[in-house]
Amino acid sequence: MSMNESGKTRMLVLGGYLGAGKTTLAVNIARSLKERRDRSVSIIMNDQGDVLVDTEYSKNAGFDTRDIMGGCFCTNFDNFVSSARTLVTSGKPDVIIAEPIGTSTNIMSSVVAPMRSLYPDEFSVAPFTVVVDCVRALDILSKKENRTEDVVDIIPAHQIREAEIVILSKADLVNKDTLEKVKEAVDTILPGIRMIESSSVDLRNMDEIMDFILSDEISTKTPTGEQNKGFAFEKAKLGWYSGTFDLVPKEDVDMYSLETDIMRGIAKEYGSKSIVHVKVLVESEESAAKMSLVEDTMQVDGIYGSRYIKTPGKLVLNARVVSPPKKLEDTMRALIDDMVTKYPMELVMTGEKCFTPKPESPSHFFFE
């Protein structure tokens, strides 16, 4: 089913915890729908800050992208709907993929259910899909972790309980035995939930994912608004940093090396368990590279053009770390200063924000 056939735009809300691989999956889905199914796709990103690496990454991949900043879709629901309508008006996409903030809770009751109930003539809302990181799932979901101040596990389990479909990301990075244990852990939380393995490397099961997105299957799950003080407690542990910098190279600058050194600097300052998700993007008109760090795992999410930046561009840095905001801000500023001494370039800050997320106050809350 497409917008042209039904008169409605298909909407997929893609939830999941920080660092689960939602953005990479969203872009891979969008590319596959475009190249293999001849469907047009637009994307809506979401963040607590005011500058988002993922938005730039999605735009660089060639997709019409909007973002809702300064809070979850749930607290900005009217803006979320307005952005979706703007995308429909401007580009007439067959599919809109919406990616909430990784710490969002009660997305079913505050976003998916209101969307399908209030706008049934405009949008066909696909089953709420939650992405689970196979590499971290057992640590997060097994409850074997000691309850230290760095442990964050209540929110990911709750996100699974809300799901109608679970996509197991990074399946190529774990062995078969681990994958089966991940499935058992997810099934324990939500018995019988449909699970689909995925990988950004081999794009396994992409046809199955596209099939349900383009089907007439809609979200029907009854939302149960779960109020848990632990959600706010876990979010309050996190420091969120967003910084943007104009980058002017004096000589060619190796983007891969620069981003790797930034990640290593953060890893050196914070233990792996404190690093929830760090993303850095360097781009100019000719080239761009994005890298991410989750705990102690660093990966290249995307690169185009030369690995060297030769003309003026920008650097965008997003970090979600178990840290007081002031310490996180000082760490990032010191790290940027260090990069300027190490590489032949100028970095001029154009925007910065560092904070602890505020508790969410959904503007719509549907539950039974």
Per-residue pLDDT of the chain (368 residues; tens, 9 = 90+): 444 456 899 999 999 998 899 999 999 999 999 999 999 999 999 876 665 687 788 888 788 888 887 778 888 899 999 999 999 999 999 999 999 988 888 899 999 999 999 999 999 999 999 999 999 999 888 765 554 444 455 788 999 999 999 999 999 999 999 999 999 999 999 999 999 999 999 999 999 999 999 999 999 999 876 666 667 667 778 899 999 999 999 999 999 999 999 999 999 999 888 999 999 999 999 999 999 999 888 988 888 889 999 999 999 999 999 999 999 999 999 999 999 999 999 999 999 999 887 666 666 656 54
Supply the pLDDT for residue 4: 46
- State the CATH number of the domain containing residue 210: 3.40.50.300
Domain edge (last residue) among 216, 233, 250: 233
Amino acid, single-letter form, for residue 126: A
Give the model's pLDDT for residue 48: 65
Q: Are residues 100 and 140 in the same domain?
A: yes
Q: Which pLDDT belongs to residue 104?
A: 85
264: in domain: yes
Q: Are residues 28 and 139 located together in one domain of the fold?
A: yes
pLDDT at 1: 41
In this structure, is residue 128 part of a structural domain? yes
The answer to whether residues 189 and 276 belong to one domain is no
Pair (75, 206) in one structural domain: yes
227, 291: one domain:
no
Strand partners, 322: 238
Residues 134, 244, single domain; the answer is no
Whether 3 maps to a domain, the answer reads no
Which of 233, 261, 282 finishes a domain? Answer: 233
Question: Which of the listed residues 233, 268, 288 is the one where a domain comes to its end?
Answer: 233
User: Which residues are bridge partners to 162 per DSSP?
Assistant: none
Structural domain including 47 reads 9-233
- Residue 2 domain-assigned? no
Q: Is residue 226 in a domain?
A: yes
175 and 280 share one domain: no
Helices (H), the chain: 3-6, 22-37, 53-60, 77-91, 107, 113-118, 134-141, 154-162, 176-189, 206-214, 229-236, 255-269, 325-342
Contacts of 307 (CB under 8 A, 6+ apart): 254, 255, 256, 287, 289
Whether residue 304 lies inside any domain: the answer is yes
Q: Would residue 55 count as lying in a domain?
A: yes
CATH number at residue 296: 3.30.70
Question: Are 197 and 255 in a shared domain?
Answer: no
Has residue 361 been placed in a domain?
no
Examine the domain organization and report whether 83 and 20 are in the same domain.
yes
Q: Which residues of 331-350 are buried (b: 16+ CB within 10 A; e: fewer)?
A: bbeebbeebeeebebebeee
- Count the domains in the chain: 2
